[in-house]
């Protein structure tokens, strides 16, 4: 029973297209995140939601729009895809006190823009 699930696992699309990545967690956590791992393997936070409310919005192009319909779901929509958007996108969730107990990550979505 997957704790944090992301779909799709792989996504290949052309420049200029719009795409969405979905994330769901069944852990009852209040906080969810989107992280981007670029070609240098560096994991960088993009967004964080706490109980459907946006609490972290890093300097991400406004072509990226997160949506949290409820605290178990955090989706990522990307408009007008660019080559530089190619990366692995990880969804994660955490309980209160995540500083000590860490995040639970999904298995990632590998986005390739051609």
Q: Residues 87, 77, 21, 49: what is their CA dihedral angle, to the nearest 10 degrees? A: 100
Q: Which of 71, 75, 73 is nearest to 30 (CA)?
A: 71
Minimum distance of another protein from residue 69's CB (angstroms):
21
Of 31 and 68, which CB lies nearer to another protein in the complex structure? Answer: 31
List all residues 6 or more positions away from 85 whose beta carbon is below 8 Å from its beta carbon.
78, 111, 113
Q: Which is nearer to another protein, 15 or 56 (CB)?
A: 56
Q: How far is the CB of 8 from another protein (least distance, A)?
A: 13
Residue 98 sits at φ, ψ, to 5 deg, of: -65, -15
> What's the closest the beta carbon of residue 15 comes to another protein, in angstroms?
25
Q: Which is nearer to another protein, 17 or 74 (CB)?
A: 74
Closest CA to 110 of 17, 39, 33: 39
Comparing CB distances to another protein, the nearer of 23 and 113 is 23
Query: Which residues form the interface with another protein (CB under 8 A)?
Result: 4, 31, 33, 35, 40-45, 48, 50, 55-56, 90, 92, 94, 98-108
Distance of closest approach, residue 7 Cβ to another protein, in angstroms: 14
């Amino acid at each position: 029973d997957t704790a944090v699930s992301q779909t799709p696992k792989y996504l290949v699309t052309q420049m200029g297209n719009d795409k969405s990545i979905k994330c769901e967690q069944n852990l009852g956590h209040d906080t969810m995140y989107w992280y981007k791992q670029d070609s240098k393997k560096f994991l960088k936070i993009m967004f964080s939601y706490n109980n459907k409310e946006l609490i972290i919005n890093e300097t991400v192009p406004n072509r990226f729009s997160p949506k949290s319909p409820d605290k178990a779901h955090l989706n990522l929509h990307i408009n007008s895809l660019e080559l530089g958007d190619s990366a692995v996108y990880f969804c994660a969730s955490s309980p209160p006190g995540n500083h000590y107990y860490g995040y639970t990550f999904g298995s990632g979505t590998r986005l390739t823009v051609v």
